[in-house]
Amino acid sequence: MSGTKLHYKSNLRDIRFCLFELFDIGKTSLGKAPFGAMDEASALDALQGLETLCTEEIAAGFADSDRTPLTLDGEGNVTLPAALVKNLNAYYDGEWHRLDLPERLGGFGAPPSMRWAAFELVSGAHASLGFYFFGMVLARILDGLGTGPQKERFVKNIIERRWGGSMVLTEPDAGSDVGAGKTKARHVGGEVWEIEGVKRFITNGDFNGAENIVHLVLARPEGAAQGTKGLSMFIVPKFWVNEDGSLGERNGVYCTNIEKKMGIKASATCEMTFGDRKPARGLLVGDAHDGIRQMFHVIEQARMGVGIKSMSTLSTAYLNALAYTKERVQGPDLLRAADKSSPRVRIIEHPDVRRMLMAQKAHAEGMRALCLFAAVVQDQVDILGGHDAGEAKGVDRLNDLLLPLVKGYCSDKAYELLGLSLQCFGGSGYCQDYPVEQYIRDQKIDSLYEGTTHIQAQDLFFRKVAKDGGQTLQALLGQIKATLAAEVGGAALVSDRTLLARALGDVEGIFGAMMGKTQESLYHVGLQANRVLASLAELVIGWLLVRSSAIASERLSESDGAERAFYTGKMAASRWFCANVLPTATLTRRLIEGGDLSLMQVPEAAF
């Protein structure tokens, strides 16, 4: 039905609030090198233009792409639904792939904060679509890591000729244990290597509409060490690229199966076989055997994108549910239920429906603030000179700390809250008349790929906190303490700040308890890390919502109409989150402090 095809409800007003009121990128990012070409007016125009494309065109392919199967021919070529190809062409024809590319590569020079705001719009409108533009990510990666000849050979071609791209890590027997991969690389002379092996779950490993697809592949050179340190990263194109940039013959990499999935069905999740039918030739990236470190530049982009996809899906699901509850009439007001003649009311007037709506609103807006907080930190990394620049290192470490929260928390919590979105529709939400059932199917993958939630939680605890002695964590908590000390929002936000302060103390207690328990056994991390991740994420979200509420309280008196309603909603979301979510940190602290290892002693037969 038309309501499904035009499903997408964006929240451009809240995106603008986060970027230009909460984080004020007009002063902190735009106009500063390397983002000197874009000012606030052009950024706002760009977001408005992309929002129009997403709501009026890209969203129209959402349902058709889900219900029209992908096909795989005998030559390893995947054909996409026509609606999806139309969406791809509309995006490229509008030059949107150039938004965040640097000017020297023919781009518009937007900062990461704009890149990720734009990605929210695209992934919310059509979850399967956004990752088909992964070639542009690879162009940026190769521009930074490739040799001079590799850049000449690939970067401009990817951008100008709209080539696709994929990241190729997972193997059937290795799964998330990337270091157990068996794919081999053999040096055959000069700069050329031959790759042999089978990879699985490769997002958009093949698809029509792109004349070439460039794969970044992790493989183990002959004689290299076992584990992740023995892996190197190779550029393996579908069609060989000659030294002058022209296309050569079909390379020996083929899609040999398309996974049949619960959701994101229009995303070609491929089994890729290298070197079976003919040699699969590749080039060592940057001429350096540094594969896992290089690949993490790609993985970090993917994890950020997955977290934003989850947040965006929850946001549009909430706004669809909100619209439905304002129209659906059922049951009397609870205060007048005893009177059988009482008029029936719209379900948004029922307390339980309001509870479900506010839970979705507060989390969706809080997750957006979290994601864009990480994005503006990425702006600062680039402004300060990049990952390896001395002045940028502390900011870069903060970005590293935030990524597990963005990916792990948003993907896990969004799936839980999408159940509330569907619940608001009642039985109708279970039907394809409304988009929520597809939202749930399309979103669930987010807590599984690019590192499961628990992988994110262990990454947070071991690599992002323990590895640097908690310095980056303490710097982040210091920002929260500064907000509390400034008493933002004045008297209007006393309750919110009190609850935030208590949650801060509990999260500090959680990390203190965990550091002590790891001396007993690392099993404590295995049992509790997900709780640690959720508690820190909710603390940061609560902090950002309080800051947002303080801004809203200042602007409320000078606003009217839709703007007054918007700022009132910001304050309500902060109040609800602080009162209903932050107190769970107290329980989590008690559970962790009292946690034991008895579960690990339960015999398997007892499960």
The pLDDT tens digits of the residues spanning 429-443 come to: 999 999 999 999 999
* CATH number where 561 lies: 1.20.140.10
Of 402, 408, 379, 373, which is closest to residue 392 (Cα–Cα)? 379
Residues 500 and 559 in one domain: yes
Residues 159 and 115 in one domain: no
How far is residue 501's CA from residue 507's CA, in Å, rounded to a whole number? 10
Residue 452 φ/ψ, nearest 5 degrees: -60, 170
Residues 255-301 have pLDDT tens digits of 999 999 999 999 999 999 999 999 999 999 998 999 999 999 999 99
Number of Cβ within a 10 Å radius of residue 486: 11
Q: Who's near 584: CB < 8 A, 6+ residues apart? A: 535, 538
- Whether 418 is in a domain gets the answer yes
CA distances from 607 to 522, 530, 595, 596, 602 (A): 22, 21, 20, 18, 8
Domain boundary among 272, 289, 306: 289
Tell me the mean pLDDT in the region 462-483. 97
Residues 203 and 336 in one domain: no
* CATH number where 63 lies: 1.10.540
Residues 283 and 371 in one domain: no
- Do the strands 253-258 and 192-203 form a parallel or antiparallel pair, or are they unpaired? unpaired
Of 531, 514, 512, which is closest to residue 523 (Cα–Cα)? 514
* CATH number where 201 lies: 2.40.110.10
- Whether 606 is in a domain gets the answer no
- Do the strands 164-168 and 213-221 form a parallel or antiparallel pair, or are they unpaired? parallel
- Whether 505 is in a domain gets the answer yes
Percent of the chain clearing pLDDT 70 (strictly above): 99
- Whether 266 is in a domain gets the answer yes
Please report the pLDDT score of residue 175 as a whole number: 78
Domain boundary among 145, 163, 179: 145
* E strand intervals along 321-383: 329-332, 344-346
How far is residue 524's CA from residue 518's CA, in Å, rounded to a whole number? 6
- 110 and 38 Cβ atoms separated by less than 8 Å: yes
Tell me the mean pLDDT in the region 480-501. 98
| For residue 2, pLDDT beyond 50 | no
Percent of the chain clearing pLDDT 90 (strictly above): 95
pLDDT level of residue 126 (50, 70, 90 thresholds): very high
Tell me the mean pLDDT in the region 299-325. 98
Which conformational region is residue 4 in: left (phi greater than 0), alpha (psi within -120 to 50 degrees), or beta? alpha
Residues 236-253 have pLDDT tens digits of 999 999 999 999 999 999
- 197 and 219 Cβ atoms separated by less than 8 Å: yes
Helix (H) or strand (E) holding 193: strand 192-203
Average pLDDT for the chain: 96
Residues 397 and 510 in one domain: yes
What are the residue numbers of the active site? 450
How far is residue 546's CA from residue 569's CA, in Å, rounded to a whole number? 12
| For residue 486, pLDDT beyond 90 | yes
| For residue 1, pLDDT beyond 80 | no
Q: Alpha helices of 94-173 — where are they, by DSSP H?
A: 112-125, 134-145, 148-160
Helix (H) or strand (E) holding 214: strand 213-221
- Whether 281 is in a domain gets the answer yes
* Amino acid letter for position 142: L
- 53 and 95 Cβ atoms separated by less than 8 Å: no
Q: Which two tokens stand for residue 541?
A: 């979200």
Residues 221-232 have pLDDT tens digits of 999 999 999 999
- Whether 171 is in a domain gets the answer yes
- Whether 425 is in a domain gets the answer yes
Dihedral of the CA atoms 598, 600, 602, 607 (nearest 10)?
A: 120
The total domain count for the chain is: 3
Residues 357-391 have pLDDT tens digits of 999 999 999 999 999 999 999 999 999 987 777 78
How far is residue 198's CA from residue 173's CA, in Å, rounded to a whole number? 10
- What is the total residue count of the chain? 607
Residues 365 and 268 in one domain: no
DSSP string covering 443-501:
HGGGGTTTS-HHHHHHIIIIIIIGGGTTHHHHHHHHHHHHHHHTTTTGGGGHHHHHHHH
Distance between alpha carbon 236 and the CA centroid of its chain, in Å? 26
Please report the pLDDT score of residue 179 as a whole number: 86
DSSP string covering 237-306:
ESEEE-TTS-EEEEPSEEEEEE---SS-TTS-EEEEEESSSS-EEEEEGGGSS-HHHHHHHHHHHHHHHH
Q: Which two tokens stand for residue 134?
A: 């992964």
Range of the domain at 209: 148-289
Beta bridge partners of 305: none
- Whether 512 is in a domain gets the answer yes
Tell me the mean pLDDT in the region 563-572. 98
Residues 45 and 161 in one domain: no
Report which of residues 226 and 3 the model is more confident about: 226
- Do the strands 184-189 and 213-221 form a parallel or antiparallel pair, or are they unpaired? parallel
pLDDT level of residue 498 (50, 70, 90 thresholds): very high
| For residue 3, pLDDT beyond 60 | no
Residue 388 φ/ψ, nearest 5 degrees: -95, 0
Please report the pLDDT score of residue 6 as a whole number: 80
Helix (H) or strand (E) holding 104: none
Beta bridge partners of 271: 257
How far is residue 325's CA from residue 21's CA, in Å, rounded to a whole number? 30
Residues 385-429 have pLDDT tens digits of 877 777 889 999 999 999 999 999 999 999 999 999 999 999 999
CA distances from 51 to 1, 12, 45, 59, 563 (A): 22, 7, 10, 10, 19
Residues 354 and 487 in one domain: yes
How far is residue 458's CA from residue 110's CA, in Å, rounded to a whole number? 33
Residues 178 and 58 in one domain: no
CA distances from 536 to 164, 449, 452, 523, 541 (A): 36, 22, 17, 20, 9
Residues 250 and 301 in one domain: no
| For residue 152, pLDDT beyond 70 | yes
| For residue 55, pLDDT beyond 50 | yes
Residues 387 and 304 in one domain: yes
Q: Who's near 400: CB < 8 A, 6+ residues apart? A: 463, 464, 472
Maximum alpha-carbon separation in the chain = 87
| For residue 5, pLDDT beyond 60 | no
Domain boundary among 128, 145, 162: 145
Residues 141 and 162 in one domain: no
